[in-house]
Amino acid sequence: MHRFLLLPRRVISRANISFADIFVFCGFFALLYGAAKVGSGFFESFNPPHDLPVIDLSPGGLAYYTARSMMRMFAALAISLVVALAAGYAAAKNRKAESIILPLLDIGQSVPILGFLAITVDGFIALFPGSLFGLECASIFAIVTCQLWNMAFVFYFSVKTLPRDLEDASRVFRMSKWRKFISLEVPYGMTGLVWNAMMSFGGGWLYVSAAEAINYSNKNYYLPGIGSYVAKAFQVNDMRAITWASLTIILVIIVVDQLFWRPVMAWAGKFQTQPVTGQEDSSWALDLLRSAQVPRWLNRRLRRIRAALFQIKWPAAPQLPKLKTKNRPFGVSGDLLFGVLVGGTVVAALYSGATYLRRELPLAEVGIATMGGLATLLRVAALLLVSTVIWTPIGVWIGFNPKIARRIQPVVQILSSYPYNFLFPIIAFALHAAGVPMSITAILLMALGSQWYVLFNTIAGAIEVPAEMRQMAESYGLKGWLLWKRLIIPAIFPAWVTGAITATGGAWNASILCEIVSRENETLAAPGLGTYIAQATAANDWPRIVLGVMLMCVTVVAINRLVWQRLYDLAESRYRIV
């Protein structure tokens, strides 16, 4: 009996199993069980009006609803990351792709989430008839449209501004495109990518209610999730349920920060091209994972399998013979043909849209929507100005002080991730009672969700400032405005441009939630394009919806061509790290 009891101890001793391994084992199987348990709900029956998802407002169901929402958000984050890497790389490497992808990114981040849902929900349901998975796919796609854009922009710009010494090193070592991608381009953009992924994930909370309350066949269907829980609570004015949901979201943000984002940020610190003394981040979860033996054992086995696969001589793909082309003195160049094809497609789309609107709406309606667009444009410009003045110095201060960054990052994560649209009615009506016009209140509501893009990108840019440049500025006694003019502004300018363009895109998207706020039988509205689209959506007036969305897209693309593209070129040519 005594020898039998000692047997597990010998086995544990030989296998070097520690507390960290037990923690990793338990965490992995708990995550696997939770994913299987919660994921099974994605495939429930959905046959309106008989089989419908039901939302229970009792606090006991919050854990399940939160898990359903988290699965959607992490699935959307994974999809957004893959698409962002592909789109950003293609736009940075190919001028023709850049001329298409960047306007598409601008249009995508400015189109309200309700527009994406209205277009895609029928298609997803048709793909999975009789199953709730169709609505789940539509919800995940809607969350992707909230997370994708800023990650694509930041990776595009990191590839465009890759330091020339790294470019030279890739040529010296004769790196393939894939090797350069995984060894240089992705690691160089990792800091900005992680900070923007964290911002994208937090920003997803702002739209989770709209993504889980889906309109199909002129009826609203609530997917099980914390967003639909809050939407249903607001519908019946259940403040107790709203309070429980708010506390749950704060708790989830803290847990996700400690178990996911802090380890990811600590891991990404090794990719900094210009490390600064004392700036290494730490994470207890990552330290625990690194001290475990099981992940190391699996890593060694995977390395052996990968090495064995690389040693296999795979049959080479057959090479197709190259076609001999004759020089044609009067031939049409590929660039000209590409330009004509893209330009013709855009002109045809605009013409068909204008024809539809001219047939359905009077000409005066275009003037009304245009005036609303100008009002929203002024609010977005004011938001960007105020956010830059307030958050740029704070972001530089956080980025230059690693100890402060480690302490304040969880607080910033909570502030940026909290879904402030839950509080929009309370804030708007409180300011209205204090005599503040709704036009000013709308700017504040936009800022609650969009200002963090400027802060997060500024922090990422400040972290990447080379140590020797800061030390040189200190040795030369640069202070105050001179320090900002000579070092800080040129160093963080590329990151600020990325933060500014994503903040303005997010503000345009959020205008539909911020310019018109309702509570029971009361409604506060500010003149603007967001109000115009929201009212048209509520009335199911498709001609006005199309007009509002088209005007918003055209405005955002025009601003990109006239302002942001020039700032991108300026950052690449003048403020690129060499």
Residue 465: DSSP 8-state:
S
What are the residues whose beta carbons fall under 8 Å from the beta carbon of 129, sequence distance 6 or more?
none
> What is the Cα–Cα distance from 388 to 396, expressed in whole angstroms?
11
Q: How many residues does the chain have?
A: 578
Q: Which pLDDT tens digit goes with each residue over 384-421?
A: 999 999 999 999 998 888 777 777 777 777 777 777 77
- Cis previous bond, 8, omega within 30: no
More confident residue, 95 or 337: 95
Q: Which pLDDT tens digit goes with each residue over 466-511?
A: 778 888 888 888 888 888 888 888 888 988 988 898 888 888 878 8
CA dihedral 484, 487, 488, 493 (to 10 degrees): 120
User: If you average pLDDT over residues 328-336, what whole number do you get?
Assistant: 51
Type and span of the H or E element at 219: strand 219-222
pLDDT confidence of 569, banded at 50, 70, 90?
A: confident
User: Is pLDDT at 264 greater than 80 in this prediction?
Assistant: yes
User: If you average pLDDT over residues 57-72, what whole number do you get?
Assistant: 89
Q: What is the pLDDT of residue 4?
A: 38
pLDDT > 70: percent of the chain: 85
More confident residue, 206 or 514: 514
> What is the Cα–Cα distance from 122 to 217, expressed in whole angstroms?
9
Q: Are 194 and 158 in contact (CB under 8 A)?
A: no
> What is the Cα–Cα distance from 254 to 81, expressed in whole angstroms?
22
Tokens of 447: 């800022």
Domains of the chain are 35-292+343-574 (1.10.3720.10)
Helix axes 489-514, 565-574, angle to 10 degrees: 160
Q: Are 88 and 149 in contact (CB under 8 A)?
A: no
User: Is pLDDT at 554 greater than 90 in this prediction?
Assistant: no
What are the residues whose beta carbons fall under 8 Å from the beta carbon of 543, sequence distance 6 or more?
356, 357, 360, 361
Q: Is the pTM of this model over 0.85?
A: no
